[in-house]
Amino acid sequence: MENHENNSRESGLSKVIARNPEEEKNITAFFKRTMENQTSLPFEREKTESQTGVIEEILKYLPEFIKQYRGVPVMFSADNVHVIDPEKMSAEEKEKFKYMLRGAGTYDANDQKLISQYQPGDEKKNLKFAYSILHEIMHLESFQSYQQIKSHAITDRRLGISMVSYKDGKSYFLDINEAVTEELSKRFAEKYFGKMEVLQPELDKKDSWKRHLKPHAKHRGENLRYVEDVEGKSPTFFYHTYKDEREQLNELIADLYEKHKGRFESPEKVFDLFARACMTGKVLELARLIEDTYGKGAFRDLAEKTKQK
């Protein structure tokens, strides 16, 4: 399942609970083949040279970032990134693949695909493209586990911090997982995007707009992802997603830090605990912190509060 020699994963799969070792081996091999042998979608657009360059630049820095949170990097390639065009989709395809159209990007775990949704004019918007896949890349790099439920059927158990319940089929800790994933994307962009030449023109434009923000709007600048200019109209600003979920996460982190200043050097060190749980699947340390702070049953209450709606 893991390539220990190179300290990397051969697919997004981290763990599988199978009926026997042979089935585990077969399922692991299936995910590896899926990762390596990507098939194009009928409504897919060919990636531009600059988009491929963006992917290669991200891949250059990704292992270092993932290991920072004790994760084991998944070494995918540009072939795993698929740019889809809704205008090329039939009504039937839009219904069948509607999960791909919910946002700018999607991670398809079963097919090991990172999806970026195309809009007219996107060919020259490299920063938008980078952000459209970055959140999904963090999902791919997170801990992922599956369970065999029938002779040849498997179902997802874990993605990052989130956990699927077989009683109601809902994903618990979903809001926290999305918040942590977007915060990881934000930190990666802040640390590495400035080193990517292909993104410099758009980053310069974004920085220029940030400098013109008034002091009371500083938080908006910190969460700004990119700016789009439309001829004859005012520019459109795009911010980091999952705003409400991230605010709730950051409030929780701030409170935990205030109550445990002797243990943590800064709020960022508390965030690291959430990020490590997301990347490794090991939530015991986080659960203990929550229970020690808010009382027995608090971790379960948090799961309920942040479950899939």
pLDDT per position as a tens digit, 205-257:
898 888 877 655 656 778 899 988 877 778 888 999 999 999 999 999 999 99
Q: Answer yes or no: are the C-beta atoms of 177 and 45 closer than 8 Å.
A: no
Supply the pTM of this predicted model. 0.93
Q: Which amino acid is at 117?
A: Q
- Alpha-carbon distance of 175 to 155, in angstroms, equals 20
What pLDDT shows up at residue 33?
A: 96
Strand order in 154-159's β-sheet?
A: 15-17, 144-148, 154-159, 162-164, 171-172
pLDDT of residue 142: 98
Handedness of CA 183, 185, 188, 194 (dihedral sign): negative
In angstroms, the CA 71 to CA 243 distance is 25
**CA-CA distance, 279 to 55, in Å (whole number)?**
21
Three-state SS for 145? strand
Query: Of 186, 145, 132, 184, whose CA–CA distance to 14 is shortest?
Result: 145
**Contact by Cβ (8 Å): 2, 10:** yes
The confidence score (pLDDT) of residue 168 equals 82
Note the pLDDT of residue 1: 43
CB count in 10 Å sphere of residue 229? 9
H-state helical runs in 69-150? 91-96, 126-141
| Ranges of residues in the chain whose predicted pLDDT is under 50 | 1-5
E strands in the chain: 2-3, 8-9, 15-17, 44-45, 81-84, 105-108, 113-117, 144-148, 154-159, 162-164, 171-172, 224-228, 236-239
Q: For 133-157, what is each residue's pLDDT tens digit? A: 999 999 999 999 998 877 667 888 9
Tell me how crowded residue 154 is: count the other CB atoms within 10 A of its CB: 19
CA-atom Rg of the chain in angstroms: 20
For residue 40, count CB atoms less than 10 angstroms from its CB and return exposed for 0-12, middle for 13-18, buried for 19 or more: exposed
Phi and psi for 108 in degrees, rounded to 5?
Answer: -95, 95
